[in-house]
């Protein structure tokens, strides 16, 4: 469904993404985790053809067999209308406050699928039901401000599903929601991907939400994927020093041990322009070798479905 090979995105000298490769088959659920500046949102935008104008992208990107490496705006628009959809963190910002949400969802159905008004309405109602919106008939007639945050996010998911996309990219879709609402939205996304055979790219800083939602996780740092694999394996047995640091720095409830100081990753995430040339994590890594700052470690297979980009973790060829 998605084939991305050595995707790099640069703003002048600053590299926001460096040689990222991905391959996703229908129905696969991938989580992109990382802190701000890790490139996770930039990768999401690259997969949507929505990079800022100043960005220069290199590498090969194909969706559903179509090579999009040099696609024009029009080709991308067509792709976004039918194959790739995206939802964002703040559902209020993404909805027109002056339009009934039913009309918003009916628009792409009429425009892209050419449905009649009554057919579009019927389809919108089905989408509302599929995304678990209570009293869907009534909700079609309501305005965004009349809905709760969770309901608005469901409306946006319904809108994203309107043209039956093969790929849904969700950028921090639960971050602005309360805990119990967020749990239901991640359940919904998981179910939709499974039932529809749709690729789900779930972008989040929240490891707990990612662990609940996806099968495969890619940990990003400084514009690169530093570790990748089945989510339970990566999070229970992290191999890359950054993944380890991230997991340890996370407060946990288990064990009943209170008021314990958290292991820290020293320093801050460097600005894009100040990223080290070799391993992006060098300078903050506790097990750094002399070559780390200069030589970029490649993302290599380390057994099973796992991969890691660290000079300490040897390649395993099976």
Partner 1 sequence: MSVLLDIRGVTRRYPRPRKQLFHHEEALVAVDNVTVQITQGRTLGIVGESGSGKSTLARMVMAFEAPDEGEVLFEGKNIHALGKRELQALRPEFQMIFQDPFGSLDPRRSVGWSVAQPLRAAGMKPDQALILKTLEQVGLRAADIDRFPHEFSGGQRQRIAIARAIVTRPKLLVADEAVSALDVSVRAQILNLLMDLQDEMGLGILFISHDLAVVSSLCDDLLVLRNGVVVEQGLAGDILNNPGHEYTHTLLTAAQLELQGEHAA
- Choices 57-65, 88-96, 228-236, 272-280 (CB under 8 A): range interacting with partner 1: 228-236
Asked whether position 21 contacts partner 1 by CB under 8 A, the answer is no
In terms of Cα–Cα distance, which of 44, 24, 7, 32 is closest to 199? 24
Measured in degrees and rounded to the nearest 5, phi and psi for residue 86 equal -140, 145
Asked whether position 231 contacts partner 1 by CB under 8 A, the answer is yes
Q: Which of 54, 98, 179, 317 binds partner 1 (CB under 8 A)?
A: 179
Asked whether position 254 contacts partner 1 by CB under 8 A, the answer is yes
**DSSP result, the chain:** -EEEEEEEEEETTEEEEEEEEEEE-TT-EEEEE--TTSSHHHHHHHHHT---TT-EEEEEEEETTEE-TT--HHHHHHHHHHTEEEE-S-HHHHS-TTS-HHHHHHHHHHHTT---HHHHHHHHHHHHHHTT-SSHHHHHT--GGGS-HHHHHHHHHHHHHTT--SEEEEESTTTTS-HHHHHHHHHHHHHHHHHHT-EEEEEES-HHHHHHH-SEEEEEETTEEEEEEEHHHHHHS--SHHHHHHHHTS---TT---S-PPP---S-PPPGGG--SS-TTTTT-TT--TTTTTSPPP-EEBSTT-EE--TTS--B--
Q: Which of 29, 212, 296, 311 binds partner 1 (CB under 8 A)?
A: 212
Q: Which of 182, 200, 307, 309 binds partner 1 (CB under 8 A)?
A: 182
- Choices 118-126, 192-200, 259-267, 273-281 (CB under 8 A): range interacting with partner 1: 259-267
Asked whether position 268 contacts partner 1 by CB under 8 A, the answer is yes
Q: Distance between CA atoms of 225 and 247, rounded to whole angstroms?
A: 16
- Choices 73-81, 103-111, 152-160, 224-232 (CB under 8 A): range interacting with partner 1: 224-232
Q: Which of 8, 21, 142, 233 binds partner 1 (CB under 8 A)?
A: 233
Asked whether position 178 contacts partner 1 by CB under 8 A, the answer is yes
Asked whether position 36 contacts partner 1 by CB under 8 A, the answer is yes
**Size of site (CB under 8 A) for partner 1:** 39
Asked whether position 256 contacts partner 1 by CB under 8 A, the answer is yes
Contact 247, 239 (CB under 8 A): no
Q: Which of 236, 274, 277, 316 binds partner 1 (CB under 8 A)?
A: 236
- Choices 54-62, 114-122, 232-240, 291-299 (CB under 8 A): range interacting with partner 1: 232-240
Nearer to partner 1, 138 or 274 (CB): 274
Asked whether position 187 contacts partner 1 by CB under 8 A, the answer is no
Q: Which of 261, 290, 317, 318 binds partner 1 (CB under 8 A)?
A: 261
Asked whether position 180 contacts partner 1 by CB under 8 A, the answer is yes
Task: Note the residues at the interface with partner 1 (CB under 8 A).
Answer: 35-36, 149, 178-180, 182-183, 205, 207-208, 211-212, 230-233, 235-237, 245-246, 249-254, 256, 258-265, 268-269
């Amino acid at each position: 469904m998605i084939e991305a090979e050595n995707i790099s995105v640069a703003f002048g000298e600053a590299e926001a993404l460096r040689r990222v490769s991905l391959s996703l088959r229908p129905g696969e659920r991938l989580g992109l985790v990382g802190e701000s500046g890790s490139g996770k949102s930039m990768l999401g935008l690259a997969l949507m053809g929505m990079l800022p104008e100043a960005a220069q992208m290199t590498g090969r990107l194909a969706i559903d067999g179509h090579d999009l490496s040099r696609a024009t705006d029009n080709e991308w628009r067509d792709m976004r209308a039918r194959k790739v959809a995206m939802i964002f963190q703040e559902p209020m910002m993404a909805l027109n406050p002056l339009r009934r949400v039913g009309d918003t969802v009916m628009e792409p159905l009429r425009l892209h699928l050419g449905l009649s008004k009554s057919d579009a309405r019927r389809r919108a109602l089905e989408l509302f039901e599929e995304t678990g919106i209570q009293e869907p008939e009534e909700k079609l007639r309501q305005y965004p401000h009349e809905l709760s945050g969770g309901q608005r996010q469901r409306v946006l998911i319904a809108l994203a599903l309107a043209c039956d996309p093969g790929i849904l990219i969700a950028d921090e879709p639960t971050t602005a929601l309360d805990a119990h609402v967020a749990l239901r939205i991640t359940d919904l996304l998981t179910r939709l991907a499974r039932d529809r055979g749709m690729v789900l790219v779930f972008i989040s800083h929240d490891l707990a939400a990612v662990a609940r939602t996806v099968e495969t996780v890619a940990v990003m740092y400084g514009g690169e994927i530093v570790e990748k694999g089945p989510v339970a394996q990566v999070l229970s047995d992290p191999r890359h020093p950054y993944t380890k640091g991230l997991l340890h720095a996370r407060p946990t409830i288990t064990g009943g041990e209170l008021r314990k100081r958290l292991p820290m990753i020293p320093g801050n995430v460097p600005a894009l322009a100040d990223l080290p040339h070799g391993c992006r994590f060098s300078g903050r890594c506790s097990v750094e070798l002399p070559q780390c700052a200069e030589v970029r470690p490649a993302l290599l297979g380390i057994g099973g479905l796992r991969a890691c980009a660290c000079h300490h973790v040897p390649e395993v060829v099976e």
